[in-house]
Amino acid sequence: MRAWHLRGAGFTVLMAASLLSYPSARAATPPASSPAPKAAAVRVAPASGPIFSAHPKTPALVTSTCSACHGLTGISPTGSFPDLAGQWEPYLVKQIRDFRDHKRADPMAQSIMWGMAAMIPPAKISEIALYFASQKGPAPSPENPKLVAAGRALFMGGEISSHLPACMACHGPTGRGVPPLFPRLAGQHQAYIIAQLQAFKSGQRANDPHAIMRTIAAKLSQADMTALAAYIRTL
Ligand code: HEC
Ligand code: HEC
């Protein structure tokens, strides 16, 4: 499993490297006839101030770097990379600091996000977090009904025999989370959710206050994780 992760991470780094050169190459040669993109962004709504007030300007580092894996608006193209759109700002700030301080130490964190977090100037962390927090979160998508039903039961009710608490107690009945501590899960990629539950279970991710998620993940089987991830994707 570990070896697979490491190979996977090597591949994504290569892929991201090729993606990274793409936006700048494109920006350097705008089609002659295209309207200036800024014109639309500064249009002013009638009485309620600028339209973009709810959508802060895209930070330069997001355009040049983060977007290669997380998408320009925080909706990522694959389950190896989490969606950041609609996630709570304080949670995003904490995660960036935790990567920087090496408190999340699963293979994907080590091989990719430790370096990414280290290159974010500390003064820019909250601007970047706020930008992703203010984007529209991932849309729900339908999944295998059997898995969804099993996942829903655990998410909403936990499991009395193993003292597993209901996920909704902290992440909310619709998976939108509760700031500042409890992250949004709704609509997140299944592969990412499963990878994080495994990382909590193995202790490679040890940044949860009072070991809350490590204690919970220790009670989950692989089948539980798969079912929970399917249900979360439908939220
Ligand atoms: C090469 C791909 C790649 C790039 C570029 C990248 N990330 Fe990530 N990001 C990842 C991966 C992979 C993870 C999951 C890490 C793990 O499994 O612990 C992640 C996780 C995160 C998380 C945690 C999300 C959560 O729900 O806990 C945040 C926040 C984040 N990245 C922010 C950023 C920011 C900000 C940038 C730009 C400075 C960036 N990333 C650039 C691949 C990337
Ligand atoms: C007692 C509160 C609590 C309960 C119950 C709980 N969680 Fe969490 N969960 C947290 C906290 C706190 C974090 C954030 C840890 C951190 O700061 O990185 C978290 C983080 C997560 C993450 C990582 C999100 C990301 O974007 O990386 C996943 C996945 C997750 N929880 C799934 C679940 C599932 C599935 C259940 C039910 C089986 C559950 N949680 C129950 C408190 C809880």
pLDDT beyond 90 at 18 = no
Kindly indicate the confidence band of residue 54, based on its pLDDT and cuts at 50, 70 and 90: low
Q: Which atom of ligand 1 is nearest to the CA of 17?
A: 1
Mutate to test the pocket of ligand 2, among 80, 170, 196, 225 (most ligand atoms within 8 A of CB): 170
pLDDT given for residue 29 in this prediction: 39
Question: What percent of the chain is modeled with pLDDT above 70?
Answer: 77
pTM above 0.95? no
Residue 149 or residue 25, greater confidence: 149
Nearest of 182, 222, 181, 215 to residue 198 by alpha carbon: 222
The answer to whether 148 and 225 are in contact (CB under 8 A) is no
- Least confident segment among 47-56, 89-98, 164-173: 47-56
pLDDT beyond 50 at 1 = no
**Region 23-41: what's the mean pLDDT?**
39
Q: Which atom of ligand 2 is nearest to the CA of 205?
A: 18
The answer to whether 171 and 165 are in contact (CB under 8 A) is no
Instruction: Decide which of 3.30.479.30, 1.10.760.10, 3.30.1490.20, 3.40.50.720 is the CATH code for 56-137.
Output: 1.10.760.10
Q: Which atom of ligand 2 is nearest to the CA of 224?
A: 38
Q: How far apart are CA 48 and CA 155, in angstroms?
A: 40
Average pLDDT, the chain: 83
Residue minimizing CA distance to atom 23 of ligand 2: 196
> What is the CATH architecture of 145-233?
Orthogonal Bundle (1.10)
Residue minimizing CA distance to atom 41 of ligand 1: 66
Give the distance from CA 150 to its chain's centroid: 24
Ligand 2 proximity of 82 Cβ (cutoff 6 Å): yes
The answer to whether 156 and 168 are in contact (CB under 8 A) is yes
**Region 124-132: what's the mean pLDDT?**
97
Within this chain, domains 56-137 and 145-233 share the same CATH topology: yes
pLDDT beyond 80 at 33 = no
Ligand 1 proximity of 116 Cβ (cutoff 6 Å): yes
Q: What residues pair up with 70 in beta bridges, in sequence order?
A: none
pLDDT beyond 70 at 41 = no
Ligand 1 proximity of 225 Cβ (cutoff 6 Å): no
- Least confident segment among 8-17, 60-69, 80-89: 8-17
Residue 46 or residue 97, greater confidence: 97
CA of 70 to the centre of ligand 1 (A): 7
> What residues does each domain of the chain span?
56-137, 145-233
